Amino acid sequence: MSEFELRLGASPAQVPTARQVTWPAPGRSGTLDFSLTPGLSELGAVPDRAIDLVRLAVGVFAADQLQKRSESTFTRSIDLRVQMLDPARFDNATLAAFADLLRSLSGDDWTIGVLADPVPRPPQAGPEPDVPAAARVALLSGGLDSFAGAVLSSQLREHTVYLGYRHLSPEAGAQNRILRWFKDSGHPLEFHEVSLSVAGKAEQTTRTRSLFFMALGVALAAARGAETLVVPENGFTSINIPLGEDRGGALTTRSTHPRTIDAFNALLAAIGIGVRVVNPHADQTKGELVRAAAAVAAVGFADVASATYSCAKPPQFFAGVSPVEPCGVCVACITRRAAFIEANVPDRTPYVSTKAGAWAGKAKFEAQRMEDAEAVRRAILIGFEPEDLLAIGPFPDAFDFDIGLDLCRRGLTELGRVPL
C-alpha cells in the first residue's frame, strides 16, 4: 500500500507516514506545477464543495502519476488523504463510491480519506458583475471529438464556456488552432486553459486524467451558474470495446464510459453540486459525429479537423520522427482515420504510419507498433455479439443495449474502411 497526502499552500502535513503532495501557494515550488491556486479563484467564485471535489481529483491524479506500476502486476494499492474545506460532505458511503469509480477507471485498489484543511482560506468573492452566466460548460481537449462537439454546440446560440487542459504541446497547438478558426469564422469562444504537471512523475499511464478534467469543468460550471458540463465524445469510443482477448478489464480505458459518467453524476449529487455531466454524442460513432459537424461548419473545417490531436500512443523513442507525432496505428488513430473516411472529410493529418520514404526508425516502428492494427483486423473478422457488450459492463440502468449493440457494430464497420 502506497500512502499519499495532498496538502495546500502552507498547511502542515497530518499523515507523517504518507508521501506529501504539495499544491503550493503562488510563487512557491511544490509537487504540483499548477496554473490554478488552491482556492480556484482563477475560475471565478467556485463553491467550497466544488473546490473540494477538484482537490480530491488533483490528489488522485498526482498519486496516479507518482506511483509506478510494477512490471509483474498492473494493479496498485493506493491510500490517499486529501485536505478539504468541508470534509463532512464526503461521508464514508460517498468515499467508497468514489473509490469504486477510481477502481473502474485505473484498475487499482484505492482507499480515500478526507482531512480538514487547518489553514483558514480567505472568503471567495462574489461573481464579477460583468461576467455573464453560462448556459453550459464544455470540455475542449484539442481532439477531433471536442472540435466537432464545439462546432455543433455553436449552433445552439446559447452561451457556452469552454475549458481546455493542456498536457502535451500538440494538444495546446490544436486548441489554439481551433480557437483561431472560431474567431475567424465570427464566433469567438470563451476559453479557459489549465495546465498541471507533477514533479517526480514515475508512471506513464494517465487513467485518472479524465476525472481531473471533468472535476475542473464542474468547478467552472458551478462558478458560472451553469447546470450542465458537456463532455463531447463519440459513443463508440466511450464504450471502448476490448479489441482482443488481451485487452479487457483495466487494459481498456473507461474515461467517458456510460457507467463512469453515471457514477460521477451520482457523486456530484451526493456532495450537493448542482451540475450534471452529459455526453450529447453518446449514440454516435466518431464518423457520424464528424459528419454532423462538417455539415454545418464554416470554410476550413477539414484543415482544422486535421490539426486536432487524438493519438493515444505517440511514437516515442523511434529515430527520425517527433516523439509526439500521431502514430496512425493505435486504436485512437485508426478510429480517427475511419471517422474522416466515414464523414467524407479530407484527412491531412501527418501520421507516422503513412510517412513516405525511408526514415531511421521505420523498421523498428513497424515491427513494434502494429499490435493495435492486428487487433482491429481480428475484431472486424470476429464481429460483435450481444454477449460481447454484456461482458464489458456494468452499464447504467437506463442504458439501451439494443442501441449500444448497433452503435458498436457501426463503429467496427467504420474501422473496416481504414487500409491497414
Domain with residue 267: its CATH number is 3.40.50.620
User: Considering the domain boundaries, does residue 289 fall inside one?
Assistant: no
State residue 316's pLDDT score.
79
Which of 81, 116, 151 terminates a domain? The answer is: 116
Identity at 112, one-letter amino acid code: I
Confidence (pTM): 0.94
Residues 256 and 306 in one domain: no
User: Considering the domain boundaries, does residue 293 fall inside one?
Assistant: no
Residues 144 and 222 in one domain: yes
Residues 236 and 315 in one domain: no
Residues 236 and 157 in one domain: yes
Q: How far is CA 294 from the centre of its chain?
A: 23
Question: Per the structure, how many domains does the chain have?
Answer: 3
Residues 333 and 365 in one domain: yes
User: Considering the domain boundaries, does residue 227 fall inside one?
Assistant: yes
Q: How far is CA 9 from the centre of its chain?
A: 27
Domain with 197 in it: 136-278
User: Considering the domain boundaries, does residue 284 fall inside one?
Assistant: no
Residues 201 and 326 in one domain: no
Task: Spell 111-143 as b/e; 16+ CB within 10 A means b.
Answer: ebbbbebeeeeeebeeeeeeeeebbbbbbbbbb
Which of 278, 313, 340 terminates a domain? The answer is: 278
User: Considering the domain boundaries, does residue 222 fall inside one?
Assistant: yes
Residue recorded with cell 513494434: 368
Per-residue pLDDT 10s for the chain (420 aa) are 999 999 998 899 999 999 999 999 877 899 999 999 999 999 999 999 999 999 999 999 999 999 999 988 889 999 999 999 999 999 999 999 999 999 999 999 999 999 999 987 766 655 566 678 899 999 999 999 999 999 999 999 899 999 999 877 888 999 999 999 999 999 999 999 999 999 999 998 888 999 999 999 999 999 999 999 999 999 999 999 887 544 444 345 789 999 999 999 999 999 999 999 999 999 999 999 999 999 999 999 999 999 999 998 888 778 888 888 999 999 999 999 999 999 999 999 999 999 888 889 999 998 888 888 998 999 999 999 999 898 888 999 999 999 999 999 999 999 999 998
Residues 307 and 226 in one domain: no
User: Considering the domain boundaries, does residue 108 fall inside one?
Assistant: yes
Look at residues 243, 251, 262 and name the one whose alpha carbon lies nearest to residue 408: 243
Which of 88, 116, 144 terminates a domain? The answer is: 116
User: Considering the domain boundaries, does residue 197 fall inside one?
Assistant: yes
State residue 126's pLDDT score.
56
State residue 51's pLDDT score.
96
